[in-house]
Amino acid sequence: MANEIIEGSCHCGAVSWRFDRVPESATACNCTVCRRYGTLWAYDYEGEGIHVSGPTRAYIRGESIEFHFCPTCGCVACWRSQRVGADGRRRIAVNLRLADPQAVAGIAMRRFEGLDSFEDLPPDGRCVADYWF
């Protein structure tokens, strides 16, 4: 499973993303933005493990993060750091809810307390499939 490619797209198909491997984990964040979007994030670096295509619009929060969504159907596709790291790489995450549920079902979940403490929470053994309704 580690060498598989995971793909996702918005509802209308105008925006898509590709993750060049199966991520080790997905993150559910409870910050003021992520809890409203209901996203499950998988992280890597732009142009390395993650490739996004199609026209997006961005909601820019503060001076550090952009949330990109499809201007046609409104699906949130990814977030992208506004800052390039010292190594010249830019952090990005894709919304796993835009992928085929079977392709991401077994990915382990992580929880990030982005509302108050800004810390990772202890693992609870759940995977993405446990977050589907």
For the stretch 76-86, pLDDT in tens is: 999 999 999 99
Structural fold of domain 6-131? 2.170.150
Which pLDDT score, from 0 to 100, does residue 100 have? 96
pTM above 0.75, yes or no: yes
Q: Supply the DSSP string of 73-96, one letter for each residue.
A: T--EEEEEESS--TTS--EEEEEG
Spell out the residues 6+ positions from residue 47 whose beta carbon is closer than 8 angstroms to its own: 90
For 65, list phi and psi in degrees, rounded to 5: -140, 145
What pLDDT band is residue 3 in, cutting at 50, 70 and 90? low
CA of residue 41 relative to chain centroid, distance: 3
